[in-house]
Amino acid sequence: MAVLCCDPSVRFPKMGMAVSPFVEVLFRDAKIHIASIYTPNCDPQRGLFLDSISARYDSLAFNVIAGDFNTVFDPSIDRRGGNPGRGAGSPDRLRDLLRTFSTTDILRVKHPSLQSFSWHKWDGTIASRIDNIFCPLDWSPFVNSYFFITCPYSDHCAASLSMHSISHLVSIAPAIKNWIILFYS
């Protein structure tokens, strides 16, 4: 779940096993929509859930989509060990979701071939990058860092995105400084 301060009246709609809470943050008269998504780990539920997000929230423009997507885009760099073809998830449906909300895989924009993993099997034999923070491509010049933080009580890592001042981008909040989003699954 994304670590955010939000109104306690925010609803967290449940769709089967998956959860898709979202918040709207008002910062200096600019609205930032943030979705935190947990995607089912099996198809066809995973693909159906990703499709439903676009349909359910089509009136919102998410600036940030974070979560456990249980999907890897490219098994050759987003997965280590095991069967590379198994467990890839629904990458085409995830790409469609990102296109719908004009967001992108900012880690791949900044580091196209970096192998970095957010989930590790207990014995270390398999690792995948299934937890992500996606944001608009035009934010990429302002990203200071994107990395995973080991969580001692989970097989998932926290994804961390840090940005420096992005005050001249009208579509997002002005004068955001050292904005950090931590995602925990």
Residue 20 domain-assigned (yes or no):
yes
Q: What is the pLDDT of residues 7-51, one digit of tens each?
A: 333 333 444 444 456 777 765 666 777 888 888 888 888 888 888
Residue 6 domain-assigned (yes or no):
no
The predicted pLDDT at position 79 comes to: 92
Residue 1 domain-assigned (yes or no):
no
The one-letter code for the residue type at 146 is Y
**37-69 CB burial, b ≥16 within 10 A, e <16:** bbbbbeeebbbebbeebeeebeeeebbbbbbbb
Residue 8 domain-assigned (yes or no):
no
Residue 85 domain-assigned (yes or no):
yes
CATH number, domain at 64? 3.60.10.10
Looking at the structure of the chain, the number of domains it has is 1
- Domain containing 30 equals 14-183
Residue 171 domain-assigned (yes or no):
yes
